[in-house]
Amino acid sequence: MSVTPAQLFQEHVQTWAELWKSGVEIEGEEEIEKTAMAGLYWLLQHYRADTYWSSSPGGIATNSYNGHVFWDTELWMFPPLLLWHPGIAKAALQYRLNTVPGARARAKLGNDPWRSGERALQGYSTNGVRFSWESAITGNEQTPPGFDTGAAEIHNTGDVAFEADQYYKLTRDLDFLNSGGYKDLIEGTGQFWSEYVRWEGAAARVLNVVPPDEEAGYQDDSIFTNAIAEENMRLAVYYMDLHDRRGKFRLDPAPDSATFREKFERTIAGLQKTYPTLYDKNRDAHYEYAG
């Protein structure tokens, strides 16, 4: 079917008019309102409700990171989309659900192909779901070999679980929740964390990771990473209970014969043991990482 330029332009105008039925109005603050709407306009250029895809930090405005998807979507770009355009947000989340097989493969790979420097941990192959630091169509790791972020900036796995939780908590979309993908994502990411930690007595430590401040390089017990890992496993337990109450499934035993729930709850308690060492009582603040 041929489409004339005039028809294409009219479709473009109508589509944007529909999108702008949701937006921001700030009475008495015209400049702030314009700024907020400009940000929303920028976001809406990069997403479609009928396309299961997410956006790179630079969107379609640049070739930033070769168009690869990062945690920027989950923590910074997804929330406003969810508030004003939940259908578009759903498509962005569906992208992550579609890449769970790639994330399972990523967990098996561990850190070796991307490690650099003395502190980069070798091994760390796990079960579960570990989302790639740089992700594209398949979800396979796109970070070039040798970059520390690909080996050790692992907090984005918890960020994706946080995104999935935000969607359900705001929309209560039970059909989407029960489609099967949520169980794989939430439970699988929780399993990843429960196997990735290293135990020192009763403490579950997350060693040699790159925190959100990438300039810090490899550090132990990044407070953000440990906290998002704890929250991820709390969400896993929450959704297990939610599904169980609806009679949708029961969990299979983990390989070590403990249930996933027991592993998650034990690891949550272990992570909490690391927080006092990261807390400065005099400043009433947490350090970004140990050391």
How crowded is residue 203: how many other Cβ atoms within 10 Å of its Cβ? 18
The active-site residue out of 214, 215, 230, 288 is 214
Give the separation between CA 218 and CA 205, rounded to whole angstroms.
14
Closest CA to 189 of 218, 213, 214, 165: 165
Mapped onto helix, strand or coil, the DSSP state of residue 280 is strand
Quick one: CA torsion of 245, 251, 257, 262, rounded to 10 degrees? -50
214 is catalytic: yes
Contact partners, residue 175, CB within 8 Å, separation at least 6: none
* Cα 83 to the center of its chain, rounded Å: 18
Q: How far apart are CA 224 and CA 287, in angstroms?
A: 10
Which residues of the chain form beta strands (DSSP E)?
Answer: 198-200, 203-205, 279-280, 285-286
Please identify every residue annotated as catalytic: 214
